[in-house]
Amino acid sequence: MDDSPRKIIHIDMDAFFAAVEQRDNPKYRNKPIIVGGKPDSRGVVATCSYEARQFGIHSAMPSSHAYRLCPQAIFVRPRFAAYQEASEIIRSIFARYTELFEPLSLDEAYLDVSHSLLFQGSATLLAKQIKEDIRRQTHLIASAGISYNKFLAKIASDLGKPDGLYLITPRQGAEFAESLPVGKFHGIGRATEQKMHELGILTGKDLKQQPLPVLQQHFGKSARYYYDIARGIDHRSVNGRRIRKSIGVETTFEEDIADPATVTRHLQQLLQKTLAKLREKNLEAYTLTVKIKYQNFVQVTRGKTLSQPISDNSSTQLLVTELLKNTAIGEKKVRLLGVTLSGLRGRGSSHGFQQMDLFDRV
Ligand code: TTP
Ligand code: MG
């Protein structure tokens, strides 16, 4: 097997939604632009131009707060169709250079260019070319990070922003990983970050000092990944066009369940778990299927496809209840329950319009 380092590029557009707005409306250029909810609503900032960032404004901040920081900022409603269109163009550019690209959202993707012969195998020059293609075809600016694995390539694209082209070589990788606050590691979310802080693990260096068994004790299956990334090691592959069909979780009970409310509660929990897995993989799903195995081992499934991605809200809870209507729950005891989500798509790659309520919580 070829054991030379891989060549991974992470591309991430600069101030994506805001940049599209500045491109399409010349009067917005060089000005603080905020895309998202209106300042007088309970909405939030989706993103803002770099001019607005100078005032301390950032994604997910309440729009009212952003207004206080910069009253002269221009508030713009999101136009998802325009972002989608730009996203499709950048994906078509990636496809020109490698089959192995994995979009993470509308404005972001990993590319594995290990086997490219272009530019005498220089991934940095190839990344530069991709940036130029993006600029020429979309009039938007991308930042690129280049490294030997996904985790460091993503760190690198962030380090060079805006208009970045940043390389982390195999020799530099471990040192970079040590210097990072753990919250910056891809795959370490808020909760894990907090837990690490409680254990006195603040940086990659602190993480590196933890023996694997100790990490396993606190973080279970994820321990190995954390152990590796603290050393600049990340074996995750770039998942090209391979589309996963479904994702699910099921559980067999020690004692069969008779009570319908308990069945519903278990299904809700399984759904939460499945949704968490889906989020980890940056996917969204449109079909929910529940599986029930009765005490007598007879198994039934009930499913429904929605027009919006399935999320963790009250209508999904109602859906679970609805799916149970035509079953023998309450009459027969249940030995196993399962939840499967299918009809998967990359998160953010869909219509995006459903995200509206994220910006405007009036
Ligand atoms: P990001 O790449 O996180 O942000 P960005 O492209 O605006 O800025 P940067 O230069 O730092 O990369 O997200 C891409 C787009 O996704 C962003 O333009 C708007 C949208 N988005 C939201 O709608 N809500 C959010 O909380 C975030 C972080 C992004
Ligand atoms: Mg971006």
Task: Report, as an integer, the average pLDDT of 46-67.
Answer: 97
Position 240 scores a pLDDT of 77
Burial zone of 261 (CB within 10 Å; 0-12 exposed, 13-18 middle, 19+ buried): exposed
pLDDT over 90 at 1, yes or no: no
Position 241 scores a pLDDT of 67
12: CA distance to ligand 2 center in Å?
A: 5
- Chain mean pLDDT for the chain: 91
pLDDT one-digit tens code per residue, 236-259? 999 876 556 789 999 999 999 999
User: Which SS3 state, helix, strand or coil, does residue 281 take?
Assistant: coil
For residues 193, 195, 199, 201, the Cα torsion angle rounded to the nearest 10 degrees is -10
The C-alpha atoms of residue 344 and residue 302 are separated, in whole angstroms, by 18
CB of 14 shorter than 6 A to ligand 1: yes
Q: Which fold has domain 173-229?
A: DNA polymerase; domain 1 (1.10.150)
pLDDT one-digit tens code per residue, 324-340? 998 999 999 999 999 99
CA-nearest of 247, 213, 249, 215 to 230 is 215
The pLDDT-based confidence of 356 (bands split at 50, 70, 90) is: very low
Q: Regarding the domain with residue range 1-168, which homologous superfamily does it belong to in the CATH classification? A: Reverse transcriptase/Diguanylate cyclase domain (3.30.70.270)
User: Which SS3 state, helix, strand or coil, does residue 302 take?
Assistant: strand
Q: Which fold has domain 246-346?
A: Dna Ligase; domain 1 (3.30.1490)
Helix (H) or strand (E) holding 343: strand 334-346
Task: Report, as an integer, the average pLDDT of 3-11.
Answer: 93
CA-nearest of 119, 118, 100 to 110 is 100
Q: Which residues are catalytic?
A: 108
For the chain, helix, strand, coil in percent to 5 are: 45, 25, 35
> Distance between terminal CA atoms of the chain?
57
203: CA distance to ligand 1 center in Å?
A: 25
CB of 109 shorter than 6 A to ligand 1: no
17: CA distance to ligand 2 center in Å?
A: 8
Position 357 scores a pLDDT of 38
Work out the percent of the chain whose per-residue pLDDT is above 90. 75
CB of 142 shorter than 6 A to ligand 1: no
Position 239 scores a pLDDT of 85
Q: Where are the domains of the chain?
A: 1-168, 173-229, 246-346
pLDDT over 90 at 169, yes or no: yes
